[in-house]
Amino acid sequence: MEYLLEALHVTKVFGTLKANDDVTLKVKPGEIHAFLGENGAGKSTLVKMIYGALQPTSGEFRWMGKPVTIPSPAAARKLGIGMVFQHFSLFDALTVAENIALAMPGAFDMKKLSERITRVSRDYGLPLAPTAVVADLSVGERQRIEIVRCLLQEPKLLIMDEPTAVLTPQEADQLFVTLARLAGEGCAVIYISHRLEEVKRLCHNVTILRHGKVVANVDPEKETAASLARLMVGGDIHVVKSAREDQRGATRLKLDHLRLPADGPFAVELRNVSLDVKAGEVVAIAGVAGNGQSELFDAVSGERSLASAAMLVIDGKPMGHDGVNKRRNVGAAFVPEERLGHGAVPGFTLSQNVVLTRHSSDEALVKSGMVSSGGAAGVSQRVIKDFDVRKGKPDPEARSLSGGNLQKFVVGRELDRKPGVLVINQPTWGVDAGAAATVRQAIVDLARQGSAVLVISQDLDEIFEIADRIAVISRGQLSEAYPASELSSEKIGLLMAGAHELKETPHAARA
Amino acid sequence: MNDQLLSVILTIITASTPLLLAAIGELVVERSGVLNLGVEGMMAVGAVSGFGAALLTGNTYVGVLAALVAGALLSLLFGFLTLTMVSNQVATGLALTLLGLGTAGLMGESFVGQPGVHLERLHVPGLSDIPFIGPILFGQDLMVYLSFAIVAGVSYLLFRSKAGLIIRAVGDSHQSAHALGYSVVGVRYLCVMFGGACSGLAGGYLSLAYTPQWVENMTAGRGWIALALVVFSSWLPWRIVVGAYLFGTITVMGFSLQAYGIGIPSQLLSALPYLVTILVLVLISRNRALIRANTPACLGQPFVPDR
Amino acid sequence: MRLVLEKRAEASGRMAILSPIVAILLTLVTGGIIFALRGLNPFSALYVFFVEPLTTSWSIEQLIVKAAPLAMIGAGLAVSYMANVWNIGAEGQLTAGAILGSAIPVFFPDFQSPLTLVLMLSLGVIGGMAWAAIPAFLKNRFGTNEILTSLMLVYVIQLVLDWLVRGPWRDPKGYNFPKTIAFTDWQLLPQFQLIPPSIGPIYVNLGAIFAVVAVLALAFMMGRTLKGYELRVQGIAPRAGRFSGFSREKTVWFCFLLSGGLAGLAGICEVMSTVGQLQPGISPGYGFTAIIVAFLGRLNPIGALVAAFALAISYLGGESAQVALGISDKTARVFQGILLFYILACDSLILYRLKFIGRTPKLAEVKA
């Protein structure tokens, strides 16, 4: 048996979309095999078929040389295929042991299972307490549950979908050690990523997918990051152009010892968050998901009101007590992380969605309590044109757009107002490279025109690409904001892990 | 005095049992992430079916079985709409109530005024004859014991068995449960039918033991009170017992006070259970952290698997 | 074979219109089957039930009498449900409105002027609003589930009504019947001639006009104003509603006061016309049937008006079927329940399409 898993001419069609087109690839035992590709290149569809969550339209899989059909995840697990999802399949209200028990076949013995969890997790350097409730754990710890859940079934093949997206650099290093050890024991790993450096560092073999097709199968040691990127995108990558001169002006957005109590048992409390964002600069807040980013966004946008007005100052005006519309009316604009259901109403058309964030700031949209559909359509057309939003019909429902196009619309809707302050949470999460480049360029251009821009992002590459200064949030506390040129990934990693949290005295951001 | 106290306690048990049965069933349904507001309708159909079957066969246990089956069948309709057709659970639950009450009214037309058959109380020679506690502990009808057995069974199932773990998992995150390969819809169908069967039993108990006859609208909002009890219990089975007996006591107290002819309007005493329901809901809802931490995260959310 | 739903990329406009029609047709078919099973000719039974109410001017008058409160309450509920505010206690708010409005003739039986009419109607609205304010307050202040509280309050107010008409408000000359004195003159709604006698005289009372005005006003609000936009956003995407700066608490208040006020108006109009005095059983469940009206009208006020007529027909049909066919008038309520089920099922097809798929094998199969 030379190959553990082979995919032969696998095609998957959704309606008119070919998510995978005649994909052929081979995975050897003990090999860490990267699937590299942009968002939407078909990586996830492919692994879902390997894991039995989807069925191929045509083509076949071979497992240890024999043709197989894998009708369900349970069947995949039985074969020895484990998968760690990007969006974890965990249960917040249940304990670690219960979460793992749900994936284990056979007898139901929590006591024995708990002992095994403790042992295996310790052996692989992924310590876990079986009785801990998932809701109380960090994202990194949650990922460990997923991995241990797979390891307990002694898999022959482990699939990992963008595992480092939610980890600090240090946590990622630890994960690489674990994966290398697994590979050494003969377990194959399929490693999905779009991070070139880590693929080069970790993987033995790279299959590159583009528009659902395999475009190359290469040895990462013989490639450079740039050559991998070209293969992935199919051309040179757009580099954000920024006339980076020091033309910073007055402070336009100021967070001053901002505090916000936790909004429920699983939420994060913000403690003494202080930050200045000046005209002309992009300040980024880095951090691992779930460390208070969404709470910070709610506090800054005004979706949740603050205890004192002075905690949030926009252009010199204390606005901590004011709601989101009053903040918009003084020139602030906000783009939340979740596009559908937060930034846009899924079942509303694009022009109806224009009204969502602009009904109080645009006099042309609402006249004496009545919505002007003509006015809204005008704005919508302008945004669609300026930001190259691709769509199937003139005024489609928001839910029918692809992630990248909807994001361009949601960002464009705010930028169209030429806001003085822009706060944007995860600007390019789950967005294809083309749209991501458009959005990042627009953000930088806005700052260069004299606006203050605050970006909250988990994507360090993105942060280094666009930010002038970087602060790190961890467990609801924000570090000082450092000039981007002074920060290494290493330093950010330490801050993500909470190196700044010990300081009792709150710190104002220094420019 | 002892005799009076005994009869009051026995009445309380009879008044509490239907609430207990309906609420424990709904608890399982909600633990799986489904909100079935149709308890009142299923109870009504259970009541009329149980009464009718017992009347026609002369056997109360056939009545009990008929009530159970009727409730389960009606809940299947709810399941088809909310689980297969992914309709709004709140609206469908209301629809189930309206349909159930209407159907029960129609089915029961010929039963109005008919003398019913009373579910007999057990008699354990020796034990049932012990003064005071004998009749309470050993002289109830079968359904009373069954109601406690169901609570114990549900408690064991939910927290000690894999099946219960799966139910809680499906209620906490249907997406994750689906990703692990569990049939979210299948699990929910089973839970919904269990809830329907319990509601049916609760209705049957009303027409076979509580007031052994058929009167239209005899459920009188008990289905809704049972729904409130599930919130009151914060989705923990044994607390349902506390809640159900609290309400049973209040209901009986109302009647007893009426009997004593105290100068309070009888309507106020009749309104007591409804007012107390509101009060209890307010008290329990004030503790938002508790409610949030215990509410099944997917409660009322429709589930459609991703392609 | 298994039946599954597949999400559509966009809501289907065709199904949105077809859904209520298909639901009504399916109800008729089901009704026909039920009649056939009871040994009746399904076609003539359906004719008696659903067509005959439209054939005489008297029955059309009755239809309007029944459709008016249904439309009034249903339109208010439609707006609430659209905003995801679940007021299911309209029957109680109707009763509260009827009670408060009736205080005028009970306490001032000789107070007769146009002002009497205005006062009674206003008190009716206020009574409905006040009763609806309780669940709204509890919801906002304590997070109490409004479905359960609004429903519990139905039972409470009905007992209050019972107590009043048997106790303090009972007509002393009423031979101990549980009712107040009969209302007269300005304590009753004026009637208007809708269609002249040459065609077949049809009279309507002021309540019908209120219903039409309320429906049109709410339709305008939902379709054209920012308030309507706000309510719709809150219903479909609450998080986006908050992002838009809309207050959930205000929406809860607004919806309860609006739907409660309309239910109260419907209640006082009932006692000021059809009933003519305060007594138990002033409504044949209009407040609950209006829930069906709201859904059958696809949560659209104009739709609710149309739906109100459909359900009014079932009420009248139930009455005439009882006389003509000897079947119970409770059949109507079963039909209403079935109709609501069908409409909910059909509504799913607006967002999803039905698909039959073959059975999938359960375990990994190694092919030979």
Same domain (yes/no): A330, A373? yes
Q: Does C148 touch chain B (CB under 8 A)?
A: yes
What is the CATH architecture of C66-321? Answer: Orthogonal Bundle (1.10)
Can you give the pLDDT at residue A246?
61
Q: Residue B165's pLDDT is what?
A: 95
Q: What letter represents residue A172's amino acid?
A: A
If contacts are CB pairs under 8 Å, which of residues 386-445 in chain A contact chain B?
A: none
The parent domain of residue A156 ranges over 5-233
Q: Does C365 touch chain A (CB under 8 A)?
A: yes
Residue C78 contacts B, CB cutoff 8 Å: no
Could you tell me which residue, B86 or B195, shows the higher pLDDT? B195
Subunit partners of chain A (3 or more CB pairs within 8 A): B, C
**Is C330 within 8 Å of B92 when comparing Cβ atoms?**
no
Residues A157 and A278 in one domain: no
* Residues 362-381 in A contacting C (C-alpha not used; CB under 8 Å): 366, 369-371
Sign (positive or negative) of CA dihedral A436, A438, A439, A443: positive
In 10 A of CB A225, how many CB atoms? 13
Please indicate, yes or no, whether residues A290 and A220 belong to a single structural domain of this protein.
no
Q: Using 50, 70 and 90 to split pLDDT, how confident is the model at B239?
A: very high
User: Contacts of residue A101 in chain B, CB cutoff 8 Å?
Assistant: 162, 165
**How much is the average pLDDT of A20-43?**
88
Q: How many Cα atoms are found within 13 Å in the side-chain-facing hemisphere of C10?
A: 16
Q: Give how far A196 is from chain B: nearest CA, Å.
A: 28
Is the backbone of residue C84 left (phi > 0), alpha (psi -120 to 50) or beta? left
Instruction: Using a CB–CB cutoff of 8 Å, tell me whether C359 touches chain A.
Output: no
Q: At what angle do helices C248-270 and C114-142 cross, to 10 degrees?
A: 150
More confident site: B291 or A323: A323
ipTM for the predicted complex comes to 0.88
For residue A147, is pLDDT > 80? yes
Can you state the angle between helices B142-160 and B2-31, rounded to 10 degrees? Answer: 40
Whether residue B85 and residue C5 make contact (CB cut-off 8 A), yes or no, is yes
Report, as an integer, the average pLDDT of A296-318: 93
**Is C367 near chain A, with CB under 8 Å?**
yes
Burial B129-167 (b: 16+ CB within 10 A, else e): eeeeebbeebbbbbbbebbeebbeebbebbeeebebbbb
Report whether pLDDT(A22) > 60: yes
Which of A486-490, B90-94, B109-113, C71-75 comes out lowest in average pLDDT?
Answer: A486-490
The answer on A191 and A42 residing in a single domain is yes
| Residue A271 within a domain | yes
**pLDDT exceeds 80 at position A278:** yes
CATH architecture of residue range(s) B2-294: Orthogonal Bundle (1.10)
Q: Is the domain of A302 the same as that of A404?
A: yes
- CA atoms of A27 and A37, how far apart (whole Å): 17
pLDDT number for residue B278: 93
Distance from CA of B279 to the nearest CA of A (A): 23
A103 chain-B contacts, CB cut-off 8 A? 180
pLDDT of A239 = 64
CA distance to partner chain B, nearest, from residue A213 (Å)? 20
Domain ranges of chain C: 1-40+327-368, 66-321
Answer yes or no: pTM beyond 0.80. yes
Question: Mind listing the pLDDT tens digit for each residue in B157-181?
Answer: 999 999 999 999 999 999 999 888 8
Nearest to A91 among B161, B162, B176 (CB): B176
pLDDT at C75 over 50: yes
Q: How far apart are CA C98 and CA A359, in angstroms?
A: 40
DSSP state of C55: T
Q: Which of C86, C142, C330 has its CB closest to that of B102?
A: C330
Domain-located, residue A171: yes
Tell me, what's the pLDDT at A435? 86
Torsion, Cα of A106, A110, A113, A118 (10° steps):
160
The verdict on residue A205 lying in a domain is yes
Q: Which CATH number belongs to the domain containing residue A116 in this structure?
A: 3.40.50.300
Cβ of residue B297 closer than 8 Å to a chain A Cβ: yes
Q: Report whether pLDDT(B291) > 80.
A: no
Whether residue A386 has pLDDT greater than 50: yes
Q: Is A499's pLDDT higher than 80?
A: no
Structural domain contains residue A242: no
Q: Does residue A385 sit in the same domain as residue A276? A: yes
Residues A221 and A282 in one domain: no
Min distance A109 CA to chain C CA atoms (Å): 24
Q: Per-domain residue ranges for chain B?
A: 2-294
Q: Which of residues 316-355 of C touch B (CB under 8 A)?
A: 328, 330-331, 333-334, 336-338, 340-341, 344-345, 347-348, 352
A contacts of B175 (beta carbons < 8 Å)? 87, 89
CA distance C258 to chain A (A): 18
Whether A93 sits inside 8 A of B172 (CB atoms) is yes
* pLDDT tier at C361, thresholds 50, 70, 90: very low
Residues C243-262 have a mean pLDDT of: 96
Side-chain-facing half-sphere of C206: CA atoms under 13 Å: 16
In a domain, A507, yes or no: no
According to DSSP, the β-strands at A66-69 and A251-260 are: unpaired
The candidate with the shortest Cα–Cα distance to B37, out of C291, A44, A127, is C291
Which tokens in the block code for residue C78?
């439609």
Residue of A nearest to B168 (CA): A94
C170-186, pLDDT tens digit by residue?
888 878 888 888 888 88
